[in-house]
């Protein structure tokens, strides 16, 4: 009887560990990149609702900004949405004209329903014939909720662009 119970238990353990749902990492990376592209497009369009739709919107959502003068931490959706709303509540333009955003040196790690990524986040634009811009290192965590990737944490470490 002990052998029978032991055999059944071993089969159940083996079946339980071998039946984990396989994650198609490349497909998930493509979906995550689509979220980043949508965030850029929504920011350039100054579309607050589109930007907000990309976020988890819970009490643990966090944004950290490290810059020349120190850092600011925004904790919880109320603070993060306030920050984003202020940035998107301007005169209808993010910066200058012909604004473009590039993401370089990207690293993405997908682990089931969570992912993190880091990259160089580069913004450039033209104002009165002069090219401007800034660059930062971005670290972002995402969660997959009801089949959709949502941003739950973003940190930005400022760095300057070299003068052309």
Helix (H/G/I), strand (E/B), else coil: 133:
strand
Longest dimension (CA), the chain: 85
Taking the domains of the chain in order of start, what are their residue ranges? 24-159
Give Cα separations from 118 to 48, 72, 157 (angstroms): 24, 19, 11
Helix (H/G/I), strand (E/B), else coil: 144:
strand
Q: Give CA 135 to chain center in angstroms.
A: 16
pTM for the complete prediction? 0.79
The candidate with the shortest Cα–Cα distance to 108, out of 97, 119, 98, 99, is 119
pLDDT tens for the chain, residues 1 to 164:
556 545 665 565 665 555 556 779 999 999 999 999 999 999 888 899 999 999 999 999 999 988 667 889 999 999 999 999 888 876 555 566 788 889 999 999 999 999 999 999 998 988 888 888 889 999 999 999 999 999 999 999 988 655 55
Which numeric CATH code is attached to 24-159?
Answer: 3.10.450.50
DSSP 56: -
């Amino acid at each position: 009887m002990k052998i029978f119970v032991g055999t059944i238990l071993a089969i159940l353990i083996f079946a339980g560990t071998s039946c984990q749902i396989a994650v198609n990492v490349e497909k998930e990376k493509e979906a995550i990149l689509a979220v980043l592209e949508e965030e850029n497009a929504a920011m350039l369009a100054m579309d607050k609702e589109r930007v907000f739709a990309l976020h988890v919107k819970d009490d643990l959502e966090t944004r950290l900004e490290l810059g020349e003068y120190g850092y600011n931490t925004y904790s919880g959706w109320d603070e993060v949405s306030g920050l984003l709303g202020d940035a998107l509540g301007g005169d209808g333009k993010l910066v200058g004209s012909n604004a473009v955003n590039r993401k370089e040196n990207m690293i993405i790690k997908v682990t089931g329903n969570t992912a993190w990524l880091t990259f160089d986040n580069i913004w450039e634009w033209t104002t009165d014939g002069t090219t401007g811009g800034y660059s930062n290192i971005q670290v972002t965590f995402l969660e997959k909720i009801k089949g959709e990737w949502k941003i739950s944490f973003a940190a930005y470490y400022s760095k300057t662009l070299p003068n052309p």
